[in-house]
Structure 1
């Protein structure tokens, strides 16, 4: 594992995360790295992934209740707020999303997103 930690620096490779949380149906995973500033996650959403089908059964909420602040590395994702506001994001896009939304992968390419706000409890069973 590439892991360098001191009081001034940190380098950790997502290929060897502190925790991996699989999504329902084998439709991707969330890799989590614990840092002094909180968890950072790399989500890999496979083509066909949809929050309401592949994470909702884990979360136990009607919509995604995590806030997200992240960067899309590859693939495309559509995010629709409970009130109907929507956006599409792709490679190179920064996204900030409030709680209360659904999301799904667009196209045939996995969508990979780094998020440094909302993945601390994301895809964890309710109460865990």
Structure 2
């Protein structure tokens, strides 16, 4: 059986951040194997239509 090294990443040093101003944000880390981890924080009053849809790279509806 092959033993693999454990890779750790921290969300306080993300590769990308989607900033939704005063309503939260999403921190994105990318691992060396191509997988992605996301930490999303949404503050009261956040709605997808108003705060994420306008961001570049968001999927069209």
TM superposition score normalised by structure 2: 0.72
C-alpha root-mean-square deviation of aligned residues, in Å? 1.7
Does 2:29 correspond to 1:33?
Answer: yes
SS in 1 for 2:40: strand
Change in 2 beyond 3 A, CA 1:9/1:60 = closer
Higher relative CO (Cα under 8 Å, sequence separation at least 6) belongs to 1
Gaps of 5+ in 2: none
Which of the pair is proportionally richer in strand? 1
For 1:4-83, what aligned pairs fall within 5 Å after superposition? Answer: 8-23=5-20, 25-35=21-31, 36-58=33-55, 59=58, 61-62=60-61
TM superposition score normalised by structure 1: 0.38
Which of the pair is proportionally richer in helix? 2
- For these two proteins, the number of residue pairs brought into alignment is 55
